């Protein structure tokens, strides 16, 4: 289980949300500027809430009453931003190994590289290990970014429009791959998307965010049948 109940102010946007989930993926939908990326960055620890409570599994990572506010590196959040955020000066293997925090042993980062190699193999990406990020296709970049996020065995995966940079063919293939991977992992994931086909493929619970507020939540079929706002109606009507 995870929960994020926060009030956040960033620029002209004030975000006030209360949402929770379990091992089933959660899809976050909403128009541009509604606060979707802000929410992901707040859970990851990049933005400081004005108040609230964030709990990931059995670990409270933020609580305004008790004063808990863990830094990003201690929250164990796997965050894949739009564009994937790979380091251009590091090869794929070192991008993936970047977040590894081994027990003091070994030399020259070899333990981290070994773990990264095994993870890339499990994701079908071992052939990319020594490539530079600039040489990767959109689908390859997405898998590498996902591998890097998984290196820390995250308490939650935060994916910000993970398929938006791909062409239609790659998007279909990676949508199926991502759905299978999240189902097999059985761990929480919060996915921002603008495509109803992502919601359907992931079998996700949906939270609709508009103007910094959750305006509707529930199974996709329920929102499609009884949309609370024009945006929700248009989102599911596009299917």
Q: What is the pLDDT of residue 103?
A: 52
Mean pLDDT over residues 23-37, rounded?
Answer: 95
Taking only the tens place, the pLDDT of each residue in 192-235 is 999 999 999 999 999 999 999 999 999 999 999 999 999 999 99
- Would you say residue 239 has pLDDT above 60? no
Q: What is the pLDDT of residue 95?
A: 95
Place of tokens 């095994």: 118
pLDDT bucket at 126, cuts 50 / 70 / 90? very high
CATH number of the domain bearing residue 233: 3.40.50.300
Taking only the tens place, the pLDDT of each residue in 156-186 is 999 999 877 677 777 787 788 788 888 887 7
pLDDT bucket at 106, cuts 50 / 70 / 90? very low
- Alpha-carbon distance 51 to 160, whole Å? 23
Mean pLDDT over residues 57-61, rounded?
Answer: 95
Terminal Cα distance for the chain, rounded: 30
- Alpha-carbon distance 44 to 39, whole Å? 9
Computed on alpha carbons and rounded to an integer, the radius of gyration of the chain in Å comes to: 18
- Alpha-carbon distance 164 to 49, whole Å? 28
- Alpha-carbon distance 192 to 198, whole Å? 9
Full-model pTM: 0.89
Let me know how many helices (H) and strands (E) the chain has, helices first. Answer: 9, 11
- Number of domains observed in the structure of the chain: 1
- Alpha-carbon distance 81 to 69, whole Å? 22
- Would you say residue 107 has pLDDT above 70? no
Alpha helices in 45-125 (DSSP H): 72-75, 92-97, 110-122
Query: How is residue 192 annotated by DSSP?
Result: E
- Alpha-carbon distance 199 to 205, whole Å? 8
Range of the domain at 67: 2-237
- Alpha-carbon distance 174 to 191, whole Å? 14
């Amino acid at each position: 289980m995870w929960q994020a109940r926060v009030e956040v102010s960033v620029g002209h946007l004030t975000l006030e949300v209360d949402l929770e989930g379990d091992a089933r993926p959660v899809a976050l939908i909403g128009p541009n500027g509604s606060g979707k990326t802000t929410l992901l960055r707040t859970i990851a620890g990049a933005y400081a809430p004005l108040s609230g409570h964030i709990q990931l599994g059995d670990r409270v990572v933020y609580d305004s009453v008790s004063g808990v506010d863990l830094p990003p590196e201690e929250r164990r959040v796997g965050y894949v931003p739009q564009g994937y955020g790979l380091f251009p000066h590091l090869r794929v293997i070192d991008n993936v190994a970047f977040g590894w925090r081994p027990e003091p042993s070994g030399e020259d980062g070899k333990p981290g590289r070994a773990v990264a190699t095994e993870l890339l193999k499990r994701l079908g990406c071992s052939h990319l290990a020594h490539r530079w990020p600039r040489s990767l296709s959109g689908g390859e970049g997405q898998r590498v970014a996902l591998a890097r996020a998984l290196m820390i065995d995250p308490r939650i995966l935060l994916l910000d429009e993970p398929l938006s940079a791909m062409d239609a063919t790659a998007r279909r293939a990676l949508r199926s791959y991502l759905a299978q991977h999240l189902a097999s992992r059985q761990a929480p994931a919060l996915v921002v998307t603008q495509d109803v086909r992502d919601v359907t493929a992931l079998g996700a619970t949906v939270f609709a965010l508009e103007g910094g507020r959750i305006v509707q939540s529930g199974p996709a079929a329920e929102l499609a049948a009884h949309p609370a706002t024009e945006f929700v109606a248009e989102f599911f009507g596009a299917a």
